[in-house]
Amino acid sequence: MGGDSEDDLRRGRIVREEIGWENKLMVDANQRWGVDEAIEKTKALAELDPGWMEEPTSPDDILGHANIRREVAPIRIATGESVHNAGMFKRLLQAGDIDVCQIDACRVASANENLAILLMCAKLGSPVCPHAGGVGLCECVQYLSIFDFLCISATPEDRVIEFVDHLHEHFINPVETREGRYLVPQSAGYSIEIKQDVLKRFSFPGGEVWNQEEYEADLNN
């Protein structure tokens, strides 16, 4: 979402028609709007019954998020993938900015910092639905949700993890999913070790992918 309002609604209606009303539909504005515009545009999408509106405005705008959340209720507000530490999440949560916390395992700089955020969210009643996608994020965030389920919230209720089905082939222990669920990893470690041949091929500037002729020849073979 975030472009022309009528086109956003048109595409949203198509998705609703395909998935039905029994399934959740989340929408993401990718920080596209200012506060007043976010309120207006989110309300315009209410007929889609969105499970949440993600990143309606800049994640740095604490008071702006609180205003948006108050004005568009009962539509839930989700954010967090661009928030970088527990202190920032504390301010967002205390100000009543977010309904769904979307921690990013790589944006937040350590496992301990992520665990502190999980604990704050449990105390303040905000479900954690980690942001994933990209290179290795799915591998990382699975552990955050596993820990949340086993040691903090003890429930899968109202919790999901994002998943993208690409780039896992570059990892020694890629994520495994079955019927829409992550499977608990069986190997020791954090599942984010990249294969040595991948590191060699993609290393800059000597990796073969930076030599277009060699790279295209390898693809053709």
Confidence at 217, pLDDT banded by 50, 70, 90: low
The fraction of the chain above a pLDDT of 70, given in percent, is: 95
- CATH entry, 5-193, from 3.30.70.1400, 3.30.365.10, 3.40.640.10, 3.20.20.120: 3.20.20.120
**pTM as predicted:** 0.83
Mean per-residue pLDDT for 50-78? 93
CA-wise closest residue to 68 among 45, 90, 89: 45
Write down the domain spans for the chain.
5-193
- The CA distances from residue 36 to 17, 114, 117, 151, 163, in Å, are 29, 31, 29, 39, 31
Q: If pLDDT is split at 50, 70 and 90, which confidence band does 129 have?
A: very high
The stretch 6-28 carries a mean pLDDT of: 92
Nearest CA among 179, 149, 177 for reference residue 163: 177
